[in-house]
Amino acid sequence: MSLKLIKKILPRPIVTFIQSILAKLGELKEGIAFQCSNSMFLSSTYYFLFSRAFDREHLSVLHGKKRYASDIKHGKAGLTLLRRNVHRLEKGLIMKPRRPIFAKDYITETVEFLHKVVTENPETEVDELNWFCDVLTTYFLAVQSDPVIDKAKSLFDDTVKLRNLKITDKIPYVRNFSNNIPSFEQFENLSLRRRSVRWFEDKAVPRDLIDQAILVSSQSPSACNRQPFRFHIFDDPSLVQEVSKIPGGTAGFNHNFPVFIAVIGQLRAYFDERDRHVIYIDASLASMSFLFALETLGLSSCAINWPDVPEREKKMSKALALDEDERVIMCIAVGYPDKNEKVPFSHKKSLSQLRKYN
């Protein structure tokens, strides 16, 4: 029974008494929380007995582990595993000094899953397969002979023949520093120009511009290159209105969103709880690059906070048909800015507040 309903049906003195009891219980719960903060065991006990705040995260992490294990067993997680392992090979190839034999503990697994992907997932993008092929070819040329490595190379050679994969140039390289890049002043001006815009023109946003920005965002750093995120984009006006109402911070201006995006993290990319925060790190890095890229294309954006509110999580999960391991990282409104409308000044912290050396 809600407090609003209680107020309607019970006399005022009783309502006041109930409110005082609830206030005392709240104070007691807060005191227990402070005491439990001194112990890892007690803090876990507190959230088990008194708070359900982390229930969704617990479920998502375990579901992600289950999904990862299931996909591995059935050969569906080959791309995730391959992206991680091939990136590990790249890091081994650029080490100074480079060891004559490395990756012996996972090279067999890597090649076996490449074989699975090639034989069981014919729709896999050729560019990605070429990257796997290029790095593995370079690896086998770089390492010394070893029974484990030689056996893996034999399977790799057979796998390459199955798809007639071509050797390209997707291998570790020396960057070209002669290319012109924006100056610091230009980048600073871009960062100052990019503001959270809440008022947009009534004008459709071409999908190809959004796609361009997403391709730029894909170049952002990602732990072991797994890129455990996706951009769920709404540009149908009725759907934009429906979904953009779910976040708590859009009331009063969401009616003028041309495009609404939910950035989704996928915990299925990980086999262990230790990586549960990586979806937030990787997706946030990509999102910031995405916002900057939009600005260069004449578009503006508003990054929308997504606190962990169970009721809204449920609504958004249903609206986006998310799996249990998928979590909303943040939301973004996109459109052509209304140049006549203002943006908040949002004074930023000083340098002394933001950094500390050593």
**In the chain, domain spans:** 3-45, 58-163, 193-335
Say what the alpha-carbon torsion angle 236, 238, 240, 243 is, to the nearest 10 degrees.
-130
Average pLDDT of span 190-206: 96
φ, ψ of residue 92 to 5 degrees: the values are: -65, -35
Strand partners, 334: 259, 301
Average pLDDT of span 70-99: 86
Q: DSSP letter string over 198-249?
A: --B-S-PPPHHHHHHHHHHHTTS--GGG---EEEEEE-SHHHHHHHHTSSTT
Nearby residues of 159 by Cβ (< 8 Å), 6 or more positions away: 111, 114, 115, 118
Distance separating alpha carbons of residues 27 and 42, to the nearest angstrom: 18
Return the DSSP state at 196.
B
Question: CA distances (Å), 110 to each of 17, 65, 222, in order?
Answer: 66, 19, 19
Tell me the CATH architecture of domain 193-335.
Answer: 3-Layer(aba) Sandwich (3.40)
pLDDT single digits (tens) 273-290: 999 999 999 999 999 999
Is it true that the peptide bond before 97 is cis, omega within 30 degrees of 0? yes
pLDDT of residue 1: 52
pTM of the predicted model as reported, rounded to 2 decimal places? 0.87
- At residue 248, does pLDDT exceed 60? yes
Nearby residues of 35 by Cβ (< 8 Å), 6 or more positions away: 42
b/e map 255-268, b = 16+ CB within 10 Å: ebbbbbbbbbbbbb
* Three-state DSSP class for residue 326: strand
First to last CA, the chain: 54
Distance separating alpha carbons of residues 297 and 44, to the nearest angstrom: 47
Average pLDDT of span 153-178: 86
pLDDT of residue 77: 55
Say what the alpha-carbon torsion angle 291, 293, 297, 301 is, to the nearest 10 degrees.
0
Flag the least confident range among 22-26, 149-153, 166-170, 310-314.
22-26
- At residue 121, does pLDDT exceed 80? no
Confidence of residue 4 (pLDDT cuts 50, 70, 90): low
Average pLDDT of span 32-48: 88
Confidence of residue 5 (pLDDT cuts 50, 70, 90): low
pLDDT single digits (tens) 311-348: 999 999 999 999 999 999 999 999 999 999 999 999 99
- How many Cβ atoms sit within 10 Å of the Cβ of residue 168? 13
- How many Cβ atoms sit within 10 Å of the Cβ of residue 349? 8
Confidence of residue 210 (pLDDT cuts 50, 70, 90): very high
